[in-house]
Amino acid sequence: MSSDPPKWKARHFSPPPETSAPAPRLKAGIFVRALIRRVEVAGAQAFVVKKGSEEAGAVFLKVSRLDGTCTILNQAVAGDGERVWARPLGESCDEPRASAYFEKQKKFDPDLWIVEIEDRAGRAFVDEKIV
């Protein structure tokens, strides 16, 4: 037998470069059910206004302050790839304006989810930054 080293030597690879790929997303249905549970545990109310695609429907939140005003939030990705919640109608709007916005969005994306949160303090109960 020869004393030559084996030809199948293990190679040392450097770790792959870090990427700024976003974290995997939860399925929309699971996210919505978890959000509703979080809201209820905190003493507020939440319910599904429109059920979308269980797998990957866009999720919109309507945070009602129970005084005739609300904040609409939709999921977005910031320029740096970070997931955030955007306020497409600004800090606050009235109920008719929110309803008109949702009707327009439903025509564009019939698989979307709309979750209404009723909280006098206007809390959205999401972990991501609201911009």
Q: Are 47 and 74 spatial neighbours (Cβ–Cβ below 8 Å)? A: no
Please give the class, per CATH, of domain 46-130: alpha beta
- d(CA 19, CA 34) in angstroms, rounded, equals 28
- pLDDT at position 56, please? 78
- Note the pLDDT tens digit of each residue in 58-106: 999 999 999 999 999 999 998 898 889 999 999 999 999 999 999 999 9
The reported pLDDT for the residue numbered 18 is 53
Best CA proximity match to 112, nearest among 56, 73, 63, 71: 56
Tokens of 17: 């470069």
Domain ranges of the chain: 46-130
pLDDT 10s digits, 15-54: 555 555 555 667 889 999 999 999 999 999 999 999 988 8
Share of the chain above pLDDT 90, in %: 65
